Amino acid sequence: MQIPSEVPKPDNNTPLDFSNPFEVIVYIVIPIALLILYILLRKRRRAKNKSIENIQN
């Protein structure tokens, strides 16, 4: 059976090391910050669109 050498294999993967601050920041803090930023920007855009609609009517 041929296995490609460039493809990651399940036995090579290691679990997240939460004692390493870099991994905590990359895999937990940044995604949460991006999600919060997305929600805030979406709310702001919706509020802006509603105010424009109210002015036009």
What end-to-end distance do the CA atoms of the chain give, in Å? 69
Place of tokens 């803090």: 29
Q: In terms of pLDDT, which residue wins out, 51 or 36?
A: 36
pLDDT of residue 8: 76
Report how far residue 46's alpha carbon sits from residue 18's, in angstroms, rounded to the nearest whole number: 37
| Mean residue pLDDT across the chain | 88
Q: Is the pLDDT of residue 57 over 70?
A: no
Nearest CA to 26 among 15, 38, 14, 18? Answer: 18
Average pLDDT over residues 27-54: 93
Q: Is the pLDDT of residue 1 over 80?
A: no
Cβ neighbour number for residue 7 with a 10 Å cutoff: 7
